[in-house]
Amino acid sequence: MPADRGQGPTISEVAAEAGVGRATAARTLGGYGYVSPELRARVLAAAEKLGYRANALARSMSTGVSHTLGVIVADIGNPFFAGLLRGISDTARARGFDVIVLSTYENLQQEIAATNVLIDKRVDGVIVSSAALDRDQVAHIRAAMDRGIPVVLVDRAVAALDLDAVVIDNRDAAREAVEVLIAAGHRRIGFVWGPPVAQPPSTRRELLAAASASLWTDGERLRGYLDALDDAHIPFDPELVMAGPKTEERVVGEVGRMLALPDRVTAVFCTETDGMTGSLRALRKAGLSYPDDVALIGFDDSAWAAVMDPPLTMIAQPVHQLGAKAAEVLLDILGGAEPARTMHTLRSQLIQRASVAAPPE
């Protein structure tokens, strides 16, 4: 009997038990090269008898394949990313791949560190929801690609990277939501949230320039808001666009400011969950209610939005499909498909409930 080193049996011990050479056992257990059916069966039987468990890192070093995908997202505690990860893992598992997940909290330095971890782990491919904004911030992603690791973007595109990106129709979704508010009679429509800049833009040009330097999703949703205003010939008012830090507390203050304007907002379009919760707090603080005093529409539908009283009108993103499609694209590339280097756009759905009504007289 081999000595118990607390590490389990080795390939050499499995080979001895099966009566074959070490190279034959290694090829069988590593899943590469040719081994006759008879010898393969003997090795697998010996491995089962001894309780052998392959060392994934060692196997990847010998075969170049780890059957592992790396995933980098902003916040695994966020319900949106949790649903996206479920889609990725379900699809990966069905095709024999494991998933390593790292969270960055929208911090580029943490994203760089996470990418280096995945490179060191020898993952076969990476799916990333990147916080990078321009070509000066993507060296870590290019480093992975230079090592032969394919990368697929999810949830957001990065203009400096010519890669496959799996996203939703952010601009069209925002436009549709604001059109619903306009159809109800609203013209003073707040946008929460806008670009995270220290100085709020005072012109449309400044606003679009700031949006171009922000996360892709933020910019697309802002453009959809402006599209709807333009189509209805409603003048853009910079006072109705929140700018600054993207926090719930900031939303409370900014929506409170919009409610205190002489010609106050009568509707608010929220592009994130924290934007909606902050808006609800601001209404309560001002002694107002929705939809009678202020109409509300938000992004990222969830169970809590449906049980609010009244229930909230929300944009539902196909989060599981988003993750599944990203994994599918990456796995196809790993299987030999040529990268399409295109935007794979999925449709969202506006779930109309009871948070929109005509503006007060």
* Residue pLDDT, tens place only, 223-262: 999 999 999 999 999 999 999 999 999 999 999 999 999 9
C-alpha 140: how far from chain center: 18
Q: State the helix-helix crossing angle for 204-212 and 216-231, rounded to 10 degrees.
A: 150
Confidence of residue 6 (pLDDT cuts 50, 70, 90): very low
pLDDT in tens, 308-341: 999 999 999 999 999 999 999 999 999 999 999 9
Whole-angstrom Cα distance, residue 361 to residue 359?
6
Whole-angstrom Cα distance, residue 166 to residue 332?
14
Among 129, 157, 138, 71, which Cα is nearest to 342's?
Answer: 157
pLDDT reading at 89 higher than 50? yes
Among 163, 153, 169, 158, which Cα is nearest to 88's?
Answer: 153
CA atoms within a 13 Å half-sphere pointing along the CA-CB vector of 269: 30
- What is the predicted pLDDT for the residue at 60? 55
- What is the predicted pLDDT for the residue at 64? 58
Among 69, 127, 124, which Cα is nearest to 93's?
Answer: 69
The least confident of 16-20, 32-36, 97-101, 126-130 is 32-36
Confidence of residue 61 (pLDDT cuts 50, 70, 90): low
Q: Average per-residue pLDDT in the chain?
A: 92
296-300 average pLDDT score: 96
Q: 207-215, long-range: CB within 8 Å, 24+ apart, which pairs? A: 207/236, 207/238, 207/241, 210/243, 213/133, 213/134, 214/133, 215/131, 215/133, 215/156
β-strand 98-103 against 68-73: which pairing, if any? parallel
52-80 average pLDDT score: 77
- What is the predicted pLDDT for the residue at 3? 40
pLDDT reading at 73 higher than 90? yes
116-130 average pLDDT score: 95
Stretch (H or E) spanning 319: helix 319-334
- The sheet with strand 267-270 has its strands ordered as 189-192, 267-270, 295-299, 313-316, 349-351
- What is the predicted pLDDT for the residue at 25? 87
- What is the predicted pLDDT for the residue at 316? 98
Whole-angstrom Cα distance, residue 177 to residue 32?
53
The percentage of the chain sitting over the pLDDT mark of 70, rounded to a whole number, equals 94
Among 73, 79, 72, which Cα is nearest to 317's?
Answer: 79
* CB environment 166-192: b (16+ within 10 A), e (fewer): bbbbbbebbbbbbbbbbeeebbbbbbb
Full-model pTM: 0.83
Confidence of residue 4 (pLDDT cuts 50, 70, 90): very low
For the beta carbon of residue 112, count every other beta carbon within 10 angstroms: 20
pLDDT in tens, 178-200: 999 999 999 999 999 888 888 88
- What is the predicted pLDDT for the residue at 1? 41
Confidence of residue 7 (pLDDT cuts 50, 70, 90): low
Give me the amino acid identity at 191: F
Q: Give the number of residues written for the chain.
A: 361
Q: Is the dihedral of CA 192, 101, 130, 327 positive or negative?
A: negative
Whole-angstrom Cα distance, residue 127 to residue 150?
9
Confidence of residue 299 (pLDDT cuts 50, 70, 90): very high
pLDDT reading at 295 higher than 80? yes
